[in-house]
């Protein structure tokens, strides 16, 4: 089954609250995590997002679109990255989610995929 692991955490780095050593440590942890997922043959894709201060939200209003500075929901924890994995079941997905470096700093969501685009159709 395909699951997307959604990492939510407070944006300490963007807020300038992390020193150089902590940032390097975090990057090394994310490198190890992705390498482990890849070595286990379960990784489909991995994406770490830029801070939510750089995001732009598009909302349909009447016949037009409103373009807004900032995230859709302004919360303390922001979506910071996604890992799409293919594993046997929820227990396997949860085991990987617990190993995500950010799981120590914020909630990690494990969501099954309903369908995904492959080639020229949804499967």
Partner 1 sequence: MKPVSDEVRAAADRAARTSYGRLLALLAAPTRDIPLAEDSLADAFEQALHTWAEHGIPNNPEAWLLTVARNRQRDVFKSAAHRTSTDLEEGSAVTDLDAIDPDAIPDKRLELLFACAHPAIAPEVRTPLMLHTVLGFEAAQIAEAFGVPAVTMAQRLVRAKKRIRTAGIPFTIPGRADMPSRLAFVLEAIYGAYTIDWESLSADPDPLESLAAESLYLAVTVAALLEIEPEAWALAALIALSSSRAPARYVDGVFVPFDAHDPARWDPALIVEGEAYLRRAHGLGMPRGRFQLEAAIQSVHCDRRRTGVTDRTALAALYRALVEVAPTAGARQALAAVEVAAGLRRE
Binding mask 2-31 for partner 1 (x = CB under 8 A): -x----------------------------
Interface with partner 1, residue 109, by CB under 8 A: no
40 vs 90, beta carbon nearer partner 1: 90
Q: Which H or E run contains 45?
A: strand 43-48
Of residues 55 through 94, those in contact with partner 1 by CB under 8 A are: 88-91, 93-94
Separation CA 85–CA 110 (nearest Å): 10
Buried/exposed code over 47-62 (b: 16+ C-beta within 10 A; e: otherwise): eeeeebeeeeeeeeee
Contact residues: partner 1, CB under 8 A: 1, 3, 88-91, 93-94, 112
């Amino acid at each position: 089954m395909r699951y997307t692991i959604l990492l939510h955490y407070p944006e300490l780095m963007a807020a300038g609250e992390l020193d150089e050593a902590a940032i390097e440590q975090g990057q090394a942890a994310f490198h190890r995590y992705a390498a482990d997922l890849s070595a286990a043959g379960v990784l489909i894709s991995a994406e770490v997002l830029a801070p939510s201060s750089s995001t732009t939200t598009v909302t349909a209003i009447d016949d037009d679109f409103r373009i807004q500075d900032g995230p859709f929901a302004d919360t303390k924890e922001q979506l910071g990255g996604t890992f799409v994995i293919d594993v046997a079941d929820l227990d396997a997905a949860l085991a990987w989610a617990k190993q995500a470096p950010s799981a120590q700093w914020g909630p990690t969501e494990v969501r099954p995929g309903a369908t995904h685009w492959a080639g020229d159709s949804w499967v």
